[in-house]
Structure formats: structure tokens, C-alpha cells
Amino acid sequence: MTDAERLRKEQESQQTINAYHRVFKSPDGERIVADIVKVFGLAMPAFLAKPDGGYDPLHAAKRDGQRDVYLHILAKLSAEAKGDSAEKPKKRKVIK
């Protein structure tokens, strides 16, 4: 991989991290994350006992997949949001 390709890949990664911060650190985004946690019961263990005392491995796999999505969002939010050169500057209105 060339230096230019590596730089482009790093910039794209940073742009994605910045987008996660803009979306999920907003009041609406925080509400969505809280809803994801509530709806998918992410505080509960993946293996839940069935009435007969056994466990349902398919249910556990599904819950684990849901948890992976949540953990991915948290990982992106734990990375630092930084300015990147590809972001367009905001237009300023000049008042005379």
C-alpha cells in the first residue's frame, strides 16, 4: 500500500468516526442508543435458561450479534473525533 493510499484510508476512517460522533452524540442519537440497549436487552446475558432448564444456542447467537452492533457503535464513539481535511468548511455570512 502506498503512502497516499494509506493516508486516504486513514482520512476515510476518521471521517466515519466523526460521522458516528455527529450522529450518536446528539440528543437524538443518545436516545437511539438508549433505545437499542432497551429493545435488545443488551444488559442481559446471551444465554437465557429455557423453562425446561436448557439453553437455546440460536437465541444466544442472535443476541450476541445484536450486542456486536452495539459494541461497534461504542468503539467508534470511543475513538477521538478530530478535524479532517475532507470536511467542507461552513459558509460564513458577512455582515456589513
Q: What is the pLDDT of residue 49?
A: 76
Q: Hunting for cell 470511543 — which residue is that?
A: 78
The three-state secondary structure class of 49 is strand
The model's pTM is 0.71
Q: What is the pLDDT of residue 50?
A: 78
In this prediction, residues 65-79 reach a mean pLDDT of 91
Beta carbons within 8 Å of 49's beta carbon, 6+ residues apart: 55
pLDDT band at 55 (very low <50, low <70, confident <90, very high): confident
Q: What is the pLDDT of residues 11-35, one digit of tens each?
A: 999 999 999 999 999 999 999 999 9
